[in-house]
Structure 1
Amino acid sequence: MSDQPILELKNIHSGYGSIKALRDVSLKVYPGEVVAIIGANGAGKSTTLMTICGIVSPEKGEVYYQGEPITKINPENLPPMGLCQVPEGRRIFPRLTVEENLILGAFYRDDQEGILKDIKHVYELFPVLGERSKQHGGTLSGGEQQMLAIGRALMTKPKVLLLDEPSLGLAPIIIHQIFDIIADINKNDGTTILLVEQNANLALKAATRGYVLETGEITLEDKADALLHNPEIRKAYLGE
């Protein structure tokens, strides 16, 4: 693991008007890691990702990507830099086909041969998308739409992939398929992943390290396995 984080938040204060969603949040993600942020609804998990992506501007603090500050960078310029988010709720283009959604993920790229190669790679990761390549995105199941959202993000060739609640609203068998693919993307493609997930058990099993976010503040940081076996975490987030 590199000594330098690829993504870092330093003393972030962020929110929506008078609502202070994050207070003095600091975290680091190193190249090749899967880092999980766990916490209850309303803890500030999604706000953390939106602050990283510039959708929400921090009142104080700084976000660094590959050692450079990015809080002043236009959000649309981040995917070409290798930082891409799969938002909560998927947000695919329902009237476009699966393949058209994937092509839009590569909208800033001009390497046609590489784009076709990466579409093929997405179909290898998610065979069902290959089977439905000419089908409109809106006709897919929830799980298939989540696969498409991840596949579309992969078309940006991300160095860091931000995943916001990838298991939300999905059947257990589909959730495990999605998380198997997340592990594959990390291990075989070398993609660094920052994962926000309410299912703490699932998130920590998939992660290298984890942070616990409570009412806008980081209350605990540790290796994922240590958090998974922490009695307080098991009681608060794993139903024990």
Structure 2
Amino acid sequence: MTAATATQTPILELRDVVTSYGRIQALKGVSLRVMPGEIVTIIGANGAGKSTTLMTICGITPPQSGAVFYKGEQISGVSPDLLPPRGLCQVPEGRRIFPRLTVRENLEMGAFFRRDKDGVQHDLEHVFSLFPVLKERRRQRGGTLSGGEQQMLAIGRALMSRPRMLLLDEPSLGLAPLIVRHIFSIIERINKQEGVTILLVEQNANLALQLASRAYVMETGRVTMEDEARALLSNEAIKKAYLGE
């Protein structure tokens, strides 16, 4: 973190968060910060607690103890459906689009709480400019799209809420490398050109660390390392454990 960002208020902060599934403790005192305008990634093996961290932030699995803060306000216990209107939106693992709705209807669902019709139409055209294939398929049912197109649709749906911050859960999962590169280039554009802060959970550690400015490493429900992403790319232990080197 730079000296400039150190003086800012984090847009997102977790303080000693503990989350459990029944008797199984999934998060064991997780603390992390994301500053406005950053791309921060969480890397780790399956079962490390990465996705649980995002679900805890969104209130789907509320923390047993500790606290989650968004823009300086505690949001632990806030209903998940109240967070997108406040600018915090998640793109879940597995896309979870509405398969029977058309592409356009799926995108409009992302703006369900908005009443500015002209603004919604403007943002719809913006999403189509980011993902031209969605414009071509706008009358097609979401369930008939390819995996890559569904991931684009899930990101586009989130953008329709005009987020200040996006939580992205495994956007590369099950996709061909060429599609992954395209989606990651769009994520970078959303961050750099539109100023959307991003917290990225990703098993493709190499690609995630190339994209992010900072990173957290999770193991068995704990944050075990935090550093600049470029430093972790050259860390021998990280190379061996996560980068296949």
CA displacement at 1:57 relative to structure 2: 1.2
**Identity rate of aligned residues, in percent?**
67
Determine helix, strand or coil for the equivalent of 2:215: strand
Q: Distance in 2 between matches of 1:62 and 1:185?
A: 28
Q: Distance in 2 between matches of 1:97 and 1:206?
A: 31
Determine helix, strand or coil for the equivalent of 1:63: strand
Question: Which residue among 166, 177, 190 is the counterpart of 2:195?
Answer: 190
Aligned residues: 240
Question: Which residue among 20, 34, 39 is the counterpart of 2:39?
Answer: 34
Matched, 1:91 2:96: yes
Q: Distance in 1 between matches of 2:53 and 2:233?
A: 22
After superposition, the CA RMSD in angstroms is 0.7
| Corresponding position of 1:50 | 55
Q: What residue identity is the alignment partner of 1:118? A: D
Q: Distance in 1 between matches of 2:213 and 2:20?
A: 28
Q: Deviations over 1:46-85 (max 9, x none)?
A: 0000000000011110000000000121111000000000
Question: Which residue among 153, 162, 167 is the counterpart of 1:162?
Answer: 167
Q: Distance in 1 between matches of 2:156 and 2:164?
A: 14
CA displacement at 1:3 relative to structure 2: 1.2
Q: Distance in 1 between matches of 2:78 and 2:58?
A: 9
Matched, 1:153 2:158: yes
Q: Distance in 1 between matches of 2:126 and 2:195?
A: 14
TM-score, normalised to structure 2's length?
0.97
Q: What residue identity is the alignment partner of 2:11? A: I
The ranges of structure 1 where at least 4 consecutive aligned residues each deviate by more than 2 angstroms after the TM superposition are none
8 A Cα contact 1:15 1:47, kept in partner: no
CA displacement at 1:126 relative to structure 2: 0.5
CA displacement at 1:161 relative to structure 2: 0.1
Determine helix, strand or coil for the equivalent of 1:56: coil
Question: What are structure 2's unaligned runs of at least 5 residues?
Answer: none
| Corresponding position of 1:5 | 10
| Corresponding position of 1:143 | 148
| Corresponding position of 1:75 | 80
| Corresponding position of 2:119 | 114
Q: Distance in 2 between matches of 1:132 and 1:10?
A: 43
Matched, 1:239 2:244: yes
Q: What residue identity is the alignment partner of 1:173? A: L
Q: Distance in 2 between matches of 1:57 and 1:110?
A: 29
Q: Distance in 2 between matches of 1:212 and 1:15?
A: 20
Matched, 1:209 2:214: yes
8 A Cα contact 1:10 1:26, kept in partner: yes
Question: Which residue among 99, 103, 111 is the counterpart of 2:108?
Answer: 103
Q: Distance in 1 between matches of 2:38 and 2:127?
A: 21
Question: What are structure 1's unaligned runs of at least 5 residues?
Answer: none
CA displacement at 1:237 relative to structure 2: 0.2
CA displacement at 1:114 relative to structure 2: 0.2
CA displacement at 1:15 relative to structure 2: 1.7
| Corresponding position of 2:138 | 133
| Corresponding position of 1:225 | 230
Q: What residue identity is the alignment partner of 1:17? A: G
